[in-house]
A = this chain, B = another copy of it.
Amino acid sequence: MLNSQVMDVQPRRRLTRAEAKARTRTLLLDAAAEVFARKGFAGASVEEIAETAGFSIGAFYSNFANKDELFVELLSTHSRNQIAESARLMDERAEGKRGLGQQLINAADEDFPLLEAEFWLYSVRNPQVATALAERMREPREALKTLVGEALRRLDPPVIDIDVPVSVVVASLFAGLVRQRRIDPDSVPAELYDQALHWLFAGIAAERAQPQG
């Protein structure tokens, strides 16, 4: 699921050695994402990951040094996909608030939030991983910042010199709502995210139009 977009898992011609190994890696990463989401990092065994991918333990260890290395690789792939998602959003619509509600609904139904929680915990518990992750998250964060910046410039009156990280608020709100919806869908209606963003931007615009203490 997570990695199959990088490489076709069912190519038509015979595979070279390198291609076959890369395919095994990809399948192991996909399987790991699923098992980690279901069992958690510590709860997932190398054996289950390997068997889910259709391989043996030996195949696993010929592709990864250990479970940690695979997890970090999964983590970076995850970040890369976040970049792609942000970029896609920016390309399709630069309006900043349209169709985001649906994205929330979709996100809450996937394994992603589980993996993200797992990644977050792993990062907090392994500071050296946290710095590496922060490094990789810089690009998607900048992309979101640009997107939010454009939305602010489109306000009436335009806001161009704001020094508060509104994009961080947006990202945090999204992540928080996704988690809440996962455990209690009824408490997070489909339009809630859109509505909250609308208010947030309206509040910023109102403050600029008529500054108050």
Interface digits, A176-213 against B, CB 8 Å rule (1 contact, 0 not)? 11011011100111001001101111111111000000
Q: How far is the CA of A187 from the CA of B121 in the complex (A)?
A: 18
A107, CB-defined interface residue at 8 Å: no
Complex interface: chain B residues within 8 A of A169 (CB): 173, 177, 192, 196
A203 CA to B196 CA, complexed, in Å: 9
Contact A40 B201 (CB under 8 A): no
Check if B176 sits within 8 Å of A189, measured CB to CB.
no
- Indicate if A133 sits at the interface (CB-CB under 8 A): yes
Contact of A176 among B175, B200, B205 (CB under 8 A): B175
**A58 contacts B by Cβ under 8 Å:** no
Which positions 107-143 of chain A face chain B at CB distance < 8 Å? 113-114, 117-118, 120-121, 123-125, 130, 133-134, 141
Interface size on A, residues (CB 8 A): 51
State the Cβ distance, A125 to closest chain B Cβ, in Å: 7
B180 in contact with A171 (CB, 8 Å): yes
Q: Is the CB of A176 within 8 A of B183?
A: no
Residue contacts A-B, CB under 8 angstroms, 27 given: A39-B42, A40-B40, A40-B41, A40-B125, A114-B121, A124-B182, A130-B183, A164-B192, A164-B195, A165-B189, A168-B188, A172-B173, A172-B179, A172-B188, A174-B176, A175-B176, A199-B199, A199-B200, A199-B204, A200-B203, A201-B203, A202-B202, A202-B203, A202-B206, A202-B207, A203-B203, A203-B206
